Every structure is written in structure tokens, then in C-alpha cells.
Chains A and B, each alone.
Chain A
Amino acid sequence: MNSETLKKTPLTEVCRTSGGKMVPFAGYEMPVQFASTMDEHLAVRRGVGLFDVSHMGEVFVTGPDALKLLQHLTCNNVEKLKDGQIHYSGLMYPEGTFVDDLLVHRFNERKYLLCVNAANRDKDVRWILEHQTGDVQVEDASERYAQIAIQGPKALETVQPLVDVDLSAIKYYWFTEGHVDGVPAIIARTGYTGEDGFELYTANEPAPRIWQRLMETGRPFGVVPCGLAARNTLRLEAKMALYGNDIDQSTTVLEADLGWICKLQKDDFIGKAALLRQKEGGLRRKLVGFEMLDRGIARDHYPVFVDGRPFGHVTSGSFAPYLQKNIGLAYLPVEHTAVGTPFTVEIRGKQVAAQVVETPFYKRNY
């Protein structure tokens, strides 16, 4: 795909002029890194970083039957959500595998916002529309929204001067409606880095100005713009799944070790029967975190060997900039998933020792 057919976000030009190295990602022209992936990663762990996440899809599901539809389509229990609360969930195929993973925001019983992966947006909307029943409207609002993620221990102090709400009153995985730099915004305390942080949803047009303002308010905390590469290493250290790598249409929510978002006791939902069967029959494989014991960086798609026999591949692997270790995720036979279990990763033809470790690899302590 050449740059003419790539879509731009409202912040693509700002990212480019700020030194972003631009690459195609999910059909958009996005920054993979600015000056340094390492510095961006560490800025988020120690201070604050900004991410253009405007490529993410925003889908509103509204109407008297909105709750019922979402209960049917997703594996987490939407009934448990209070107004202003958010949860992580899965949009499920009948096999209990992922159409997508997503955040569900509840405004009220009749209004929900789904934040979905850019690459899956069209597929998700089609899937939701195919299952639309009763009095419910589905609107793909992605083109109307810019989204900026402010992540790191100094995220709150960076955003607070620009908003008309008390950010400390918003709990993690809750949101509110307010104004950012005078512009209406959805202000959510969420993120994909393992740090505290906020995701701001605004109209497209003011987004570049808000971005510049955040660069100013974040300056005392060493704010830097961050690219996709740092976003990936940050989420990996926090063991947050990446659709297309760690989860997809072939992996079930139970295999992905995401049982905590899979509420099998709730009323019927797509995938429930298959997941119940899998739970009763026992899992064959499970996603685990691992660390390399010998020298070598396990990369995405490198082959995995258990007891000398091939078993799948590394779904995500990298050097971890904060932990200074070589880490990764892989599906292993369930009897080989205990912490400490050894296996090998094939790196350029050589078997290199790895072992299962506790996850998340990184957990913030504030």
C-alpha cells in the first residue's frame, strides 16, 4: 500500500512534523517511533508519553435493547457495568474465539461506546449489524473521533490543567464527559501500557491543538510523543493481548488466559456453549508469558519447541526496555504452563532456552 491510499488520522501531520517515522498500520499512516523507542518506553514508565490512537474504532450502540445485544455478543457481563464504567471484553464467534477484543463504555443503560481495533473495525461493525435485534442502533463513529492516549505516572498531572473535571475522581476503567482545552471530550482512565493514564476522545478538528497543549503541560514531566513500537513493548511488559498476534479467530478466550473477562454464568451469549464445553473438557493449550534464559531475543512467529517437539510459535516477543529482559508470549500445552517450565525457542536455526514466568511481567506499584 503506498502512502496515497493510506488514511491519515487528525494527528498524522503533527506526528510527522514532530519527527515521527511514519509507517502503514491498519490502513493508516502512523508513527512507529519518534526519536527512540527505548526513550519513549521509559518516559511512559517514569513520567508521561503521548500516543496518537485515533486509528482505533469508536462504535456507539444505543437504544432500549442495547444492553441485551451487547450481552449476547460479548463474553464479559455488561449488566455489571455502572454508568461511567468501562470493561475489557471479547466480541465472540460461536467457537468462543475472537472477532475482536474491545473496551465497552457504559454511558447509561441505553448508550454504550465500544472502542475496537482499527484493523477489525469494519468486520466488527458487520458482525454487530448481522446480529442486531430489537430496538437498537449501531453507529460507527470512528471518522468523527480523534483519540489521544496520555500514559504514565505523570499522566494525571499532564492532563489536569486542560480539563474542567477533577481527574482524581475518575477511577481506573471509569470515564466521564467533560471538556479538554474547551472542547467536549470523553475522558477515560484507560490505556494499553500498564501505567495509569487517560484516553481522550474528541472531535477531529481540535485534536492537533490539544496534542500541542499536552506537550506543553507535560513538559515538566519529560513528556515525549510515542510511536507504535513503544506501544507494543509497553503492552507486552504488561501482558496485554494484541489482536492478530496473541488472540484471533482461532484462539478462545479461555486459551488466551482471559477467563476473567469470560462470564460463563451469565445468560446465553455467542460462544458460551463452546466455552463451557472447553472448560469441562479441559484446555489443550494456554497462553503464557516467558523469559529467555539463554542469549537471544524471541520475536513474533519464531517456532516454539516443547520437549524437543514443535508446538506453535511465539505470538509476541521482544526485548523489554524497562525490565531489560527478553520476554514473550506463546501458547504451550496446558501441562507445560506452570511457572518455571522450560522449553525452547528456535532463533535462526538454533534452539534457545526459555522458561514460563509469572505475568504480568511488569506491574505498576502505585
Chain B
Amino acid sequence: MYSDDYLYTKEHEWVRVENGEATLGITHHAQEELGEIVFVELPEVGKVLAAGDTLGSVESVKAVSDVYAPVSGEVIAANDLLADKPELVNQEPHSGGWIARIRLSDKSELDGLMSADDYEAYLGEEKKH
């Protein structure tokens, strides 16, 4: 379920890093918790974000869930397909349902993110509470 090629956050985002660019989305677990996603608010390309800033939001019928920037940098792409097909986030959360791409400004921030094993252990911990 959770690829070793990705990194994960406690806010249930995933990050895939290639050539200094971080593609991100919400995890399978996050989309499952939200239910059918009916709206995705995408970030503006060109916007510069600090890690932890609100990048956009993902909404189900019932709930709004903020998406945070897992790393600092400039937004270089947003997945415009989600404007008309927000359900892609449910169907392919880790691939076609990607939300944005950020050009990393500080690679050391990646050290603070979780590996797949760590994320699965974290999900196990959350379930206990």
C-alpha cells in the first residue's frame, strides 16, 4: 500500500522526490477517512510556501481537510485534472490524484518526514487512540 519510494507526513500527505522536485498528495489512509472527495482547492503555481503552510484543501460532502506543504519551496505545478475529477484523489491517491509539485528550497527538511515503515507504524499507533 505505502511505497518505499515515497516519504510521509503526520498530516497524512505523501511526497515523492525527483531531481529536487517534490510531488505530493494525500495518502490512501487520508482519502479513506474523508470519503468521496467532491472538491480540491489547488495552490497557485508560483506561490512560495514554507513547510507547514496551508497549500490547499480537499473536501468531502461532509468535511474540509487542509493540505499542508510538507516541505518549503515554490509551487511549480498543480494537478488541474482534479478541478473536474476530484474523485481521482480517491481512486489513485498516490498517483493520478497527486495535488501539487514543489521545487525544494531545503532538502534537509526531507529528513523530518517518515519512511513507509514509519508511516504504517504511525497509522497503527493512531488507530489505538
Contact = CB atoms under 8 A, between A and B. Distances in A.
B39 A297 contact: yes
Contacts of A233: 61
Contacts of B62: 32-33, 37, 229, 318
A299 interface: yes
A319 B83 contact: no
Given A229-B62, A295-B83, A299-B64, A36 B35 contact: yes
A296 B36 contact: no
A348 interface: yes
Given A297-B38, A319-B38, A319-B39, A37 B61 contact: yes
Contacts of B35: 33, 36-38
Contacts of B59: 297, 319
B115 interface: no
B120 interface: no
Given A33-B62, A318-B61, A38 B83 contact: no
A321 interface: yes
B41 interface: yes
B85 to A, nearest CB: 13
A326 B36 CA distance: 15
Interface string A8-35: 0000000000000000000000001100
Interface of A is mostly: mixed
Interface in A215-258: 229, 233
Bin the interface of chain A by size: 10 to 19
Contact of B61 (A295, A296, A321, A348): A321
Given A36-B35, A37-B35, A38-B36, A319 B61 contact: yes
Interface string B48-64: 00000010010111101
Contacts of A229: 61-62
B41 A348 contact: yes
A321 B64 CA distance: 16
Contacts of A295: 39, 41, 83
A326 B83 CA distance: 14
A22 B16 CA distance: 35
Contacts of B60: 37
A318 B62 CA distance: 7
A115 B54 CA distance: 44
Contacts of B54: 348
A326 B59 CA distance: 12
Contact of A37 (B36, B39, B64): B36
Nearest to B42: A295
Interface in B42-94: 54, 57, 59-62, 64, 83
B61 A38 contact: yes
A36 B39 contact: no
A50 B83 CA distance: 33
A348 B54 CA distance: 10
A318 B38 CA distance: 10
A296 B64 CA distance: 11
Contacts of A297: 38-39, 59, 64
Given A37-B62, A348-B57, A296 B41 contact: yes
Nearest to B62: A229
A297 B62 CA distance: 11
Contacts of A319: 38-39, 59, 61
For A37, A41, A296, the residue with the greatest tally of chain B CB atoms inside 10 Å of its CB is: A37
B32 to A, nearest CB: 11
A33 B32 CA distance: 13
A33 B36 CA distance: 12
A212 B89 CA distance: 35
16 contacts: A37-B35, A37-B36, A38-B35, A41-B61, A229-B61, A233-B61, A295-B83, A296-B41, A297-B38, A297-B39, A297-B59, A299-B64, A319-B38, A319-B61, A321-B38, A348-B57
Given A38-B36, A296-B41, 7 more contacts: A36-B36, A41-B61, A233-B61, A295-B83, A297-B39, A299-B64, A348-B41
